[in-house]
Structure 1
């Protein structure tokens, strides 16, 4: 089964981006950066989600991200599904931090249970079939609305929304053009998906 080993974020200043991610989230080599200034405007069609165990952890991670220079897109708040918020890193990457829990049940930590790459795609069904053909296994699917792939062997899970739904989820306008400014490190070999997201052999 294909696995995602890392996410490479292209940023004009990789050293500054690395400093931000170390302070904000501390995710180690799973999130990497490299120099890149390809033109991009508006929503890049993707977001990264950190799934954690309780609200206190959400607040801790969002707090350090904002202190390190992130911009708040959605303040952390309760909802029917749990608790979470969204920030945008100085390099433009959007990050969602969320939990299904509505109350803390223990000491606050900074532990991240799952990292999920959320892609906003033009045709969820077509992208689902594309990824299945490239070795990914579907774990959950809701028609043309949402697909989640099995991430048991991956450092990062993959999920698909329609582009407008993905933008709404993170609180931005769906319009955008240019580079996605991310590269997905995988053991499945290099390829580009129907929406232009690049997958490359993981280092």
Structure 2
């Protein structure tokens, strides 16, 4: 195992874009994620689905609607409007920087008034080979928890951002976006003791490097 690259937590995510001002304004207005989402300039070529989704999990449907509506009002593009399903309530949108986001809850009933409150953040990567990607990450210190078929959730107790894998095709289908896409992922994952890239080119950076990437500040 490469102990220098060992990671058991994700401190933040860095979304890369060629329009940082617009991206920061969007994330600040859409929802308050504090320093968990950061923005950095990049002009690396990219197109279509970038092979990952970021999910915001809420406690009840009213909060899902409030968060989704806030994102659309701030400039996101609707992909799958919020709707009920067998597993709960959720919707998908594309942020102005091109990243795909989902907002969801497993609950089907509201118990309190609607709030733009987020329970957890989950990053799902869509590798070409889930089995190989799972081995790659377990060799770097991550422990696989829930795992079935081409889906894996890693156990990151106390991590601000949770992490998992889903086959690229299945991930795109669940998000409601076309599968095709290539070029840069335009995403960096802040966590671990040393910088490395996985088998699909997803870049990890030491959380300490975040000092050079300003966090998004919420607009009051």
TM-score, length basis structure 2: 0.89
* Residue number in structure 2 paired with 1:82: 88
Structure 1 position 16, deviation (Å):
1.5
1:21-44 deviation per Cα after TM superposition (whole angstroms, max 9, x unaligned): 011121010000011111001110
How well do the aligned residues superpose, as a CA RMSD in angstroms? 1.0
How far apart, CA to CA, are the structure 1 residues paired with 2:118 and 2:15? Answer: 19
Higher relative contact order (CA 8 A, sep 6+): 2
Partner of 2:190: 185
Q: Secondary structure at the match of 1:121?
A: coil
Structure 2 counterpart of 1:36: 42
What is the distance in 1 between the residues matched to 2:155 and 2:193? 15
Please tell me whether residue 47 in structure 1 is matched to residue 26 in structure 2: no
- Correspondence 1:155 to 2:160: yes
Match among 165, 185, 192 for residue 170 of structure 2:
165
Q: What stretches of structure 2 of length at least 5 have no aligned partner?
A: 1-6, 211-220
The normalised TM-score by structure 1 is 0.97
Deviation at 1:153, TM superposition (A): 2.6
* Equivalent position of 1:71 in the other structure: 77
Equivalent residues of 2:15, 2:37 under 8 A apart = yes
1:3-22 alignment to 2 at 5 Å?
Answer: 3-22=9-28
In 2, Cα distance between the equivalents of 1:157 and 1:127?
Answer: 16
| 8 Å Cα contact 2:192-2:204 kept in structure 1 | no
Q: Distance in 2 between matches of 1:47 and 1:37?
A: 20
1:27 to 29, 33, 40: 33
Runs of 4+ displaced beyond 6 Å: none
CA distance in structure 1 between the aligned counterparts of 2:128 and 2:12, rounded to whole angstroms: 24
Structure 1 residue 107, shift from structure 2 partner: 1.8
Query: What residue is the counterpart of 1:57 in the other structure?
Result: 63
C-alpha separation in 2, matches of 1:175 and 1:151: 30
Kindly indicate whether the alpha-carbon contact (under 8 Å) linking 1:47 and 1:118 is maintained by their aligned counterparts in 2: yes
Aligned length: 202
Q: What is the distance in 2 between the residues matched to 1:21 and 1:58?
A: 16
